[in-house]
Structure formats: structure tokens, C-alpha cells
Amino acid sequence: MNPLERFLLESALSCEIILCVFVFTRKVQRVLPLFAIYAYVILVGSTSVWLTYERFGISSYVSTYAYWGSVLLNAAVRSLAIAELCRYGLRAYRGIWALVWRVLAGLSVLLLVRVAMDAWGQPNKIAIYGMTLDRDLALASIVILAVLLLFRNYYGIALDPLQKSIAMGIGLICAVDVIGNTILRKILTGYLFSWYLTSQKALWPALRPQIRYMNDMWSTIHLFAFMFTMGIWCYALRKPAPAPSESPVLLPADIYRDLSPAINMRLATFNDRLVELLKP
Amino acid sequence: MNDVGIMILVALVFSGILLWLLIPKRKSSGAAAASSHAEAIGALPTAKHYGYFPQIRQALSAADTRYLLDNAPPQVARQALRERRAVARRFLQGLHEDFSNLARLGRIIAALSPEISRRQETERLMLSVKFQILYALVWLRLSTGNLPLAQLEHLTGLVGRLATRMDEAMTQISALSVGQLSGRINA
């Protein structure tokens, strides 16, 4: 590892340890157990990768597989934490939840199919394959979070500050991952693709500095965004995690059945009048 | 635009939406959502702008316009018409607010209902989107002077009738919500 890689890795590890301490002492597992697991998985993954780098060297196959395995495990557990955010506080609104979970589940299936199709067509190289999967899963995470928040905003059901900070952190790291992975993937599958072809072995010494430069740059951006995200989460956890919100008092079902069609009918009539206004 | 550009654009758009929705607004926290919904039902003004309708109708009447054009100097008449259109735009803005409040009432009732109809919710969403588009077009035509002011009368009459019925419904719901909340507190 060069000094930059060592510095980034150790800084990220320190941030992850601080986050896990906050998660544990604030008893986040009582309110958001899957997010707590996500925080622990990040720490375990990073530690494993660090140990692998120390044992086998950063350029070894074992380290490459350990890194991408950790990245994809993080993405999978992050998806669970997002699912938990979707469910949190919304499940008590039974009518809305019945609609929202179906929409989000349908959207998730569509996005996962897209992820699978996109990854399927990639060259059989772990870095490019992993990068594509990670990028598409990150994009899917942003889309799901945005749709969830649109639903909540539409029905006037706000997220608690802690959940907001978690969503903001996940959104930030996913956005950086999507943009960074997209650019890096384009470069690696473009003019640097010779790096993966044994038939082009003669070019490898010339390509090595460029590959190293790209890796360093991307690692720096990714890890700084990651540490910033940890900062957002730690700041949100400076206070104890709030108790789970109480269930709302729901209205009798008859009120919706009676009023909703009447409201819609009137809104439709209103639109009809606007259309009439616009007729020449 | 190539696939890299599209991917980055999509990521930026959704991140922008996410950021916009996560920026703290006047809304209360989720813990207070239930009570705020119940309070919101009682506090929603359904048609406060409709109350000014008689004055607006008088100000925008065709007879007034004709009188102005016939009797006032051309420059004064033009100035007066411009000002009347500005008044009409502000009134239209007020009607938009009334419409939004009524649509919000529908959403609050849906949020607090134990079961909702997917068809009804989709329909209301589509109606709101359609309204926004139509409103923008009417606003544009009103601003460019292509819309007779007297036609607003039909619109305001409709909102007024709707508001009366919704006020009655909201009073009932508000009473019911407060009763249920008190029951929950006493229990």
C-alpha cells in the first residue's frame, strides 16, 4: 500500500469505529436494527479488506476479490437498511402502506432486473463486473429513496430527523458511487481495457501508472464521501435515538369511501372548467 | 448524449429530488404526524379566496370593461385593464390555493384511512397534475390578454359550491378525529 492508500484506509476505519460506537451506545438497534447491522457490516468488511491487504498485498487476486466482495455485501445490507427506512413509521398508516409497499416492491424488482441485465453483458472481469453491479445497485437505492420520500411528502408523513440523516447519507454515498463508477467503468472498458487482456501484456508496464492514478483518484473521492457520510450519521447520533413513533389514530373506513370519490369528482369538474376556459 | 452522460444525469436528478425532499421544512416530525393530520383537517381553509368573489366579479365584469373603453382616455383605459388583469391573476392564484387545500384534504383523509383505493389515489394524483398544467395555461393566457376575464366567473362559482360541501365534511371529520384522539388519551 502506498501512503495515500494507507491513510485513506485507516481514516475510513477510524470513522467506522466511531460510528459503530455511536450506534451501540445510542441503542440504534432498538429503533433501526437493520441500519445498526449495516454499520457493523461496514466495519467488519473494511477490517477484513485491510487484513487481506496486509497479508496478501493490495494487488493480489485475493485482495481484489475481498474488496469487491465487501463492496457488494455492503450494497446488499444497505438495501436492507433502505427497506427498513421504507417501512419505518409508514406501516402504521395501513391504507397508505398497502399502496406504498406494492409500488416500492414492484419498482425494486424492476430495478434489480435491470441491474442483472446490465451486469450480465459486462466483460468477465471482477472489477468491471463488480463496478457495474455496485453502480446499478447504488442507482436503484437512490431511486427507491426518492420515490419513498415523494410518497411521504405527498401524504404529509415526514421522516424523523435521524431517519432523514440516514437517508441523506445513503443518498450521498450512492450518488458519488454512481457517478464515480460510471466514469471509471467507461475508462476501464475503453482505452485502458488492454490492462485486462493477456494478449496485450506488452502494454501493461506503460498502463500501470495510469491504472494506479485512476485507482488512487477514485479511492480518494469515494472514501472522502464515505467519511463525510459517516460524519452526517455520527452528528445525527449525537443525541439518543428517539423512541419509535406512536401509531396514528385512524379514521373509520367509511369516511374515505364516502368522501374520496366526491372530492375526485369535484376536482375533475374543476379541470373540465379549466379546459372550457382554454377553448377558443 | 452517451450512456455515461445519461447515467450521471439520472443520478443527479434523483439526488436532487432526494436533497429537495430532505431539506427541513415547516412539517413536524413523524411522531407528531398523527395529531398534525387531525389538526390539519380542522385548520384547512377550503375556500378563503372564494369569499372575495362578488367584488372580483364586479371588478372584472364585461360591463365595466366596456364602460372604461367607451368613456376613459385610451391610456387610462389600458392602464386600468392591465391592473384588472393583475387582480385576476392574483385571484386565480388564490383559487389555486383553494384547489390545493381541497386536494390536500383528500390526501390527509387517505393517509388516515385504514384502507384506500388505488384507483381513487391514482385518479386524484392525475387530476392534480392535470390541474397544474391547465392552471399554467390559463395563467399564461390571462397574462397575455387572450382570456376574457368574465370567464373566471364559471370557475369561481364551481369552487364556491365545492367549498361549501367540503366545509361541512371537514367539520364532521374534525369532530370525529378530535373525539377519537380524546378517547385515545383518556384510555
Query: If pLDDT is split at 50, 70 and 90, which confidence band does B41 have?
Result: low
Instruction: Kindly report the number of other CB atoms within 10 A of residue A220's CB atom.
Output: 14
Over range B40-61, report the average pLDDT. 58
Are residue A62 and residue A150 in the same domain, yes or no? yes
Alpha carbons A33 and A163: distance in angstroms, whole number: 12
Instruction: Spell out the SS3 assignment of A10-46.
Output: HHHHHHHHHHHHHHHHCCHHHHCHHHHHHHHHHHHHH
Q: What is the mean pLDDT of the segment spanning A174-190?
A: 86
What residues of A are in contact with residue B180 (Cβ under 8 Å)? 249, 251
Note the pLDDT tens digit of each residue in A58-79: 778 888 889 889 999 999 999 9
The reply to whether A231 and A257 lie within a common domain is no
Same domain, A29 and A92: yes
| pLDDT in the model for residue A275 | 79
How many CB atoms are located within 10 Å of the residue A125 CB?
16
Does residue B26 sit at the A interface (CB-CB below 8 Å)?
A: no
Domain co-membership, A116 together with A81: yes
Residue among A155, A178, A251 whose CB faces B177 most closely: A251
Rounded distance, CA B83 to CA B75, Å?
12
Question: What's the CA gap between B144 and B132, in Å, rounded?
Answer: 18
Same domain? A146 vs A194:
yes
* Residue bearing the bigger pLDDT, B5 or A196: B5
Going from N- to C-terminal start, the domains of chain B cover 32-186
- Which grid coordinates are listed for B1? 448524449
- Return phi, psi of residue B160, to 5°: -60, -45
Residue B2 has pLDDT above 50, yes or no: yes
Shared domain check, A163 and A60: yes
The reported pLDDT for the residue numbered A98 is 92
A88 and A208 in one domain?
yes
Which residues span the domain enclosing A257? 250-280
Q: What share of chain B is helix, strand, coil (3-state, %, to 5)?
A: 85, 0, 15
User: Where does residue A135 rank: exposed (0-12), middle (13-18), buried (19+ CB within 10 A)?
Assistant: buried
Chain A within 8 Å of B102 (Cβ-Cβ)? yes
**Distance of alpha carbon B146 from the chain centroid:** 23
CB contact under 8 A, B31 and A253: no
A212 and A168 share one domain:
yes
Interface A:B, Cβ pairs < 8 A: 220
Please tell me if residue B15 touches chain A, with a CB cutoff of 8 Å. yes
Q: Does A202 share its domain with A279?
A: no
Here the ipTM equals 0.75
Structural domains counted in chain A: 2
Per-residue pLDDT reduced to its tens digit, B100-111: 888 888 898 899
Q: Which three cell numbers stand for residue B179?
A: 373525539
Q: Give the pLDDT band (50/70/90) at residue B166.
A: low
Q: A239 falls in which pLDDT band (50, 70, 90)?
A: confident
Query: Are A179 and A261 in a shared domain?
Result: no
Interface of B with A in 137-176 (CB under 8 A): 137-138, 141, 147, 151-152, 154-155, 158-159, 162, 165-166, 169, 173, 176
Tens-digit pLDDT profile for residues A26-69: 989 888 999 999 999 999 999 999 899 888 887 788 888 898 89
Q: Are residues A225 and A262 in the same domain?
A: no
Q: A188 with A112, same domain?
A: yes
Look up residue B49 and give its three cell numbers: 379566496
Averaged pLDDT of chain A: 86
Q: How confident is the model at residue B28 (pLDDT cuts 50, 70, 90)?
A: very low
Q: Which three cell numbers stand for residue A97?
A: 402502506
Set of cell numbers at residue A254: 367509511
Cell of A21: 460506537
Select from A95, A143, A163 the Cβ nearest to the Cβ of B113. A95
Within 10 A of B66 (CB to CB), how many other CB atoms are there? 10
